[in-house]
Every structure is written in structure tokens, then in C-alpha cells.
Amino acid sequence: MLQEIKASWALLLGIGFIMVGNGLQGTLLGVRASLEGFETFTTGIVMSFYFSGMLIGSIVTPKLVSRVGHIRVFAALASTASIAILLHSIYVNPYTWSLMRLTTGICFSGLFVVTESWLNDRASNENRGAILSVYMVVVTLGMGSGHLLLNVADPASTELFILISVIISFALVPILLTARPAPAFDQSVSMSIFTLYKVSPLAVISNALTGVAHGTVFGLGAIYGLQKGFDNSLVAMFMASFLWGGFLLQWPIGWLSDKYGRRGVMLINAMVAVMLCLLAAVWDHSSRSYIPLIIIVGGSVMPMYSLCIAYASDRLSPEQIVSASGAMVMAAGIGLSIGPILVAFAMSKFGPDVYFVGIALAFVAIALAVLNSMRYREVTPEDVEEQSPMLAAGVIGTPIAAFAAPDAEDYAVALEEDELEQLDDIEEWAQAPMAGPELAVPDPDEATEEDHY
């Protein structure tokens, strides 16, 4: 694994710089929109265009990579994203910003697809989880560090916009100078969101609701901070704290779900997130305990995405995992696009404290969805034993590799070989499902209501 990470240093360094620029850009635009007098609802609409762009990018980019290759697509998308952020500073109005946010979302989503498919190609079934975990650490720390750069210059000037452009452009250097050839790219057949819903309604619903919460966190966090009287330094710290919390608690929560079952942990995590968000809404932000509280809030809010992906993966066969990734992206994209608009409208009517209330309501809905799922099918010890180990998916917007981690064909072969080694009796092997009994999924058209949940 260490050898593959060393061989991928250029790719990891490049995406690290991309995420630094991404983190700074989201916070800067929220602050600048407030300084320019944008209404809260208008800002929510503008910020939501980024998430709509991410949905488009995840669909379009694989086709581009298949035609011209990883390196050319990475260079084109990074260059376009670098230009888009500069146009924000030149044309300061909601219409131009909406278009540029859409463009930026398409570019960043495409950069994630290129990076993650490249890493997937270099990984083996034995080290894929570890390599992707390193990748998610780079993504999370890069984005968290980017928020703190808000303090480098005055958000009312063009300096921070130029800095973001420089950072994104610099990400091209290690990629373009890499000596290793880019891999071949085979686009997988996609699964529709309706087909995935038939297999597991809870996975689709909870993923969309998690998108509502995450879209609100990053789309409106800076607006909330300014309306509450935060200075620029506290706004930057506030936004970074969500990511730090998610980074610290991602693995413990994942371990608990591996050991005790997904839905129970999802339910408890959702209920804790609701209580912490409501507590944060009334907490004194001038106290020293405020930022530690937000870190804990982030630790409860951010890992839900990984839990949703893991829950869906447990109900899919190896051949379905890759094709279902597009449906999970679409479910998350719907929530990401809608969340900032709805909560921004509520904030404009009832004040900034609705920010945390909106996030809490999304997790209330997730808890209700989990409880509804438990009505149809109880968790048994066998269910927990049959789960695949959970991979950290990090921030929504980087879902392709984390969800489609195994190469479907190779992974299925590996599972089949493992089964053969464990089965002593040839007749027993002949009766076993080819991809392992724990991953066999009922046909969506024939599955019972209990199977779905």
C-alpha cells in the first residue's frame, strides 16, 4: 500500500490543493455575498447551483474521460474552475455568480471523478480501502484548511479570489509532470435511482436527507455566522470545525456500525445530531466552549453520508455496487440542491437560528425513516455479521470512489475465490451463490417489502 501511495503522490497533492481552494471559495462567497447586500434567500439559491453542478459533472465527466483521458480532463476542469472564481470578483451579481457556481460544481465534481477513478485503478482489492482512506484524509484536511485562509486578506477585495485561482492552478503542476501513465477508463452501466430505491428505500431517502443537511452546512454556514455577528476569523473557524469533527469521529462511528449494525447506529447518530444542533442554536458563540461544541456537531452530522453508503452497499451485489454509485450521487445531489434554498428562505423569514433548526429537521426525518425501516425488518446478529467493512466517504461531493470502491468484476472474483477456499465440500459450493451468500440481493421486481428494507 505504501508503494502505491508514493506512486500516487502527484495525484494526492493535486487534489489536496483543489480542496484547499474549494474550502476557501465556499466560505469566501458566503461572506462576500453578505457584504454585497445579497438577500439570504438569494444567496441560498446562488450557493445551491454549485451542488446542481456537481450532479451534472458526475454524469458528464466519465464520458469525457473515456474520450480524451484522465490528464486532459483534469487539466481542462482545473483551468475552467480557476477562471470561474476570478469571474466572481469581476461580475458581482447573483446571475453571474449562479452561472459560475454551476460551472465550479461541474468542474470540482469532474476532478473528483478523475482522481478517484485513477486511484481505484492503481489499488488492489487488498489495499483499496486503505488507499481511499488516505485520499479522504487529504480531502478533508485540505478543505478544512482552506476555510482558515479567509483571514489572509479582506473578503471585500479581489485578493482572496486571486489566491483561490492560484491554488487551483498550482494543483495542475504535479499532475501534468507525473511520469506514470493514466489508466484506461471503462464507464460502468448506471443504475437508476428508482431501481436503487426498490432495493433499499432507506439508503436513497437517508442519503437525500443527508444532502439537505450537508448542503445547508456548507452553503449557508458563512451567512449564518455573519448574521450572528461573527468576525471573519470566527466564521473561518466555524466552517472548519464541521470538517474537523467529521474527521475525528468518522472512524469511531464507522467501527460501531460495523460491530453493532448500520440502522441502530444511524438512528442513534441522527438523534444525537438533532440534540446537538438544537443546542448549538442557543449556545453563546462568544464562549470558549462554542467551537468545541461545533466540532462535536460536525462529528455527528458529517459521518451520516458514510453510513448511508455503507448501508446501501450491504444490500447490493458486487456487480451492482459500481453501477449504483450514480444513483447515490443523484440522491445526494437532490438534497444538496434543495437544502440551501429551503433553509435560506426560512432564515430570511425567521432569522439566522433557523440554520441549525433546518439541519436538525433533516436528521429528524432520517431518524423517522430508520424507524420506519425497522418496522418492516428487525436487525439480527446474522445481518451484522454479513456487513461489509465501512469505508469513510468524507464530504458529500466526493462519493464516486468511496461508494464504488471495489472494481466490480475483480471484487466478485475475489469473493468467489474466498468462498471456494472456505468450502470443503464441492457439493456445498455448487449450492452457494456465486458472489457469496451475504451479498446476494433479491431481484427488485420480485423482492418482498421486508427484503427492501
Segment 30-78, tens digit of pLDDT: 999 999 999 999 999 999 999 889 888 878 887 888 788 878 888 899 9
Can you list the domains of the chain with their CATH numbers? Answer: 2-416 (1.20.1250.20)
Mean pLDDT is lowest, of 165-174, 330-339, 387-396, 427-436, for: 427-436
Written as nine digits, the cell of 365 is 426525518
Written as nine digits, the cell of 280 is 448549538
Q: Give mean pLDDT, residues 264-277.
A: 94
More confident residue, 2 or 194: 194
Q: What does pTM read for this prediction?
A: 0.77
Give 382's pLDDT tier (boundaries 50, 70, 90). Answer: very low
Report the percent of the chain where pLDDT is more than 90. Answer: 42
Q: In terms of C-beta distances under 8 Å and separation of at least 24 residues, what long-range contacts does 341-344 make, across chains too?
A: 341/41, 341/44, 341/45, 341/48, 342/44, 342/212, 343/44, 343/216, 343/220, 344/40, 344/41, 344/43, 344/44, 344/45, 344/47, 344/219, 344/220, 344/223
Per-residue pLDDT, 385: 53
Written as nine digits, the cell of 274 is 438533532
Q: In terms of C-beta distances under 8 Å and separation of at least 24 residues, what long-range contacts does 370-375 make, across chains too?
A: 370/202, 370/206, 370/263, 370/266, 370/267, 370/270, 371/267, 372/202, 373/201, 373/202, 373/263, 373/453, 374/263, 374/267, 374/453
pLDDT over 50 at 188, yes or no: yes
Mean pLDDT is lowest, of 210-214, 318-322, 368-372, for: 318-322
Q: Where are the alpha helices (DSSP H) in 387-440?
A: 400-403, 408-422, 426-431
The model's pLDDT over 328-372, given as tens digits with 9 standing for 90+, comes to 778 888 898 899 999 999 999 999 999 999 999 999 999 999 999
d(CA 344, CA 40): 6
DSSP, collapsed to helix, strand or coil, labels residue 25 as: helix
